[in-house]
């Protein structure tokens, strides 16, 4: 059987399994010869095993002296300490309950109550970053060849890439459909403008995450500089991989925590501390005023009803919580106190290179007779 395999060209591959070659160069040549010969699944497994053995033998393990071990241990403890302190301060904040007047009203800037916990979610993401950096750095004591850390980093980065693709696919599908629905009732210019402005709006909404990431990046760069001074470029590159992986974990935790926070938020009555129960949407709509109904139809605000079974047993009495969905497109009416004011712009005098122009902006409430018109000067083209 073995003689037949030798005749078919499998000789170099089976010699690899026995590790008969004395030098890495000879073993690498045998691997290259085996790649050119026909193979089965078993042969491929043996080939991969020997290639990993060759890769491991070609890498020198990290050798640390007493001072470097102590310094690395301090870095690990610092990362873990930051994570523990951060979580310790976050637990009371996340366990806090939102007290509401059973007959009152409240408003939230956003489509969910988790917007109130944005700072806490960012802190939790930073804690995940610190914990990840500490764990990945500690693997050097378990596996000085970086194999364990490399496998962990590659697995997390693969998950991160898949999540990024899904995230951007959802954003593009949702936003493109929404913008085209808005643009269907406008001229071609506004349709094109709405699509062009979409990347800018995404950038503006992500400024908070960018600022926090830059702060973390500056701190991480200083740490990398110290690592490069003490251990050279090899561990420096691994530290870069650790940092990228930890930033990915930070983003995943930030994204997943939002849904977890939303599921754990519950409201209590500020009078009797009883849990507030959600009211059916049909009953909420029946209790809305005319301006509130217009705001909901315009898509500027959504409403939720919360009822206290002790203080307001009658279901028609409940706390009305409004979520302001679109604040930059609508304005608050001074009479209705709702986001029901829309605006239109008309250019009266076009600007030129030598003279300014004039445009008229009209603000009209869709629920009452409130109206306001202002004139805005258009700067000359030479000043733009």
- Answer yes or no: is 302 within a domain: yes
Q: What residues make up the domain containing 11? A: 2-58
Q: What is the pLDDT of residue 191?
A: 45
Say what the pTM is.
0.54
- Cβ proximity of 99 and 269 under 8 Å: yes
- Answer yes or no: is 104 within a domain: yes
Q: What is the pLDDT of residue 184?
A: 44
Same domain for 287 and 324, yes or no, is yes
- Answer yes or no: is 271 within a domain: no
Same domain for 162 and 53, yes or no, is no
Same domain for 283 and 355, yes or no, is yes
Same domain for 8 and 118, yes or no, is no
Q: What is the pLDDT of residue 13?
A: 40
- Cβ proximity of 107 and 240 under 8 Å: no
Same domain for 96 and 50, yes or no, is no
Q: Is residue 243 exposed (0-12), middle (13-18) or buried (19+ Cβ within 10 Å)?
A: buried
- Answer yes or no: is 77 within a domain: yes
Element (H, E) at 281: helix 281-286
Domain boundary among 212, 239, 265: 265
Same domain for 130 and 243, yes or no, is yes
Instruction: State the Cα–Cα distance between residues 118 and 307, nearest whole angstrom.
Output: 26
Q: What is the pLDDT of residue 225?
A: 60
- Answer yes or no: is 310 within a domain: yes
Same domain for 185 and 246, yes or no, is yes
Domain boundary among 245, 265, 285: 265
Same domain for 188 and 324, yes or no, is no
Same domain for 76 and 28, yes or no, is no
Same domain for 253 and 287, yes or no, is no
- Answer yes or no: is 272 within a domain: no
Same domain for 158 and 213, yes or no, is yes
- Answer yes or no: is 338 within a domain: yes
Three-state SS at 22: coil
Q: What is the pLDDT of residue 49?
A: 58
Q: What is the pLDDT of residue 31?
A: 56
Instruction: State the Cα–Cα distance between residues 175 and 169, nearest whole angstrom.
Output: 10
Domain boundary among 58, 74, 106: 58
Instruction: State the Cα–Cα distance between residues 146 and 130, nearest whole angstrom.
Output: 19
Residues of the chain with pLDDT under 70: 1-62, 111-112, 114-116, 168-214, 216-236, 327, 382-384
Domain count, the chain: 3
Same domain for 100 and 187, yes or no, is yes
- Answer yes or no: is 151 within a domain: yes
């Amino acid at each position: 059987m073995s003689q037949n395999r030798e005749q078919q060209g499998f000789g170099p591959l089976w010699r690899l399994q026995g590790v008969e070659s004395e030098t890495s160069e000879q073993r690498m040549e045998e691997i290259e010869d085996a790649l050119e010969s026909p193979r089965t699944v078993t042969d491929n497994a043996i080939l991969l095993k020997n290639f990993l053995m060759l890769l491991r033998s070609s890498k020198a393990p990290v050798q640390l002296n007493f001072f470097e071990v102590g310094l690395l241990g301090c870095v690990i403890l610092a990362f873990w300490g930051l994570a523990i302190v951060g979580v310790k301060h976050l637990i009371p904040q996340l366990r806090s309950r939102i007290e509401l007047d059973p007959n009152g009203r409240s408003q939230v800037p956003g489509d969910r109550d988790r917007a109130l916990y944005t700072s806490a979610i960012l802190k939790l993401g930073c804690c995940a970053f610190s914990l990840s950096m500490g764990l990945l750095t500690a693997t050097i004591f378990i596996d000085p060849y970086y194999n364990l850390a490399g496998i962990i980093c590659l697995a997390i980065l693969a998950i991160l890439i898949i999540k990024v693709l899904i995230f951007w696919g959802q954003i593009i599908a949702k936003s493109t459909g929404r913008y085209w629905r808005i643009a269907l009732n406008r001229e071609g210019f506004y349709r094109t403008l709405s699509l062009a402005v979409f990347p800018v709006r995404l950038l503006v909404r992500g400024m908070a995450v960018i600022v926090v990431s830059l702060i973390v990046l500056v701190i991480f760069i200083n740490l990398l500089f110290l690592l490069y001074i003490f251990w050279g470029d090899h561990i420096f590159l691994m530290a870069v991989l650790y940092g990228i992986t930890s930033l990915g974990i930070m983003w995943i935790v930030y994204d997943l925590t939002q849904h977890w926070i939303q599921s754990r938020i519950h409201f209590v009555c500020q009078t009797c501390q009883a849990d507030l129960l959600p009211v059916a949407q049909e009953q909420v709509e029946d209790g809305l005023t005319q301006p509130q109904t217009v705001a909901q139809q315009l898509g500027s605000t959504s409403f939720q009803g919360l009822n206290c079974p002790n203080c307001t047993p009658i279901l028609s009495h409940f706390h009305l919580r409004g979520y302001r969905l679109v604040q930059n497109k609508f304005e608050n009416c001074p009479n209705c106190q709702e986001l029901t004011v829309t605006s239109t712009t008309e250019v009266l005098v076009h600007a030129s290179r030598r003279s300014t122009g004039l445009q008229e902006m009209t603000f009209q409430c869709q629920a009452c007779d409130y109206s306001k018109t202002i004139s805005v000067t258009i700067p000359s083209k030479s000043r733009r």
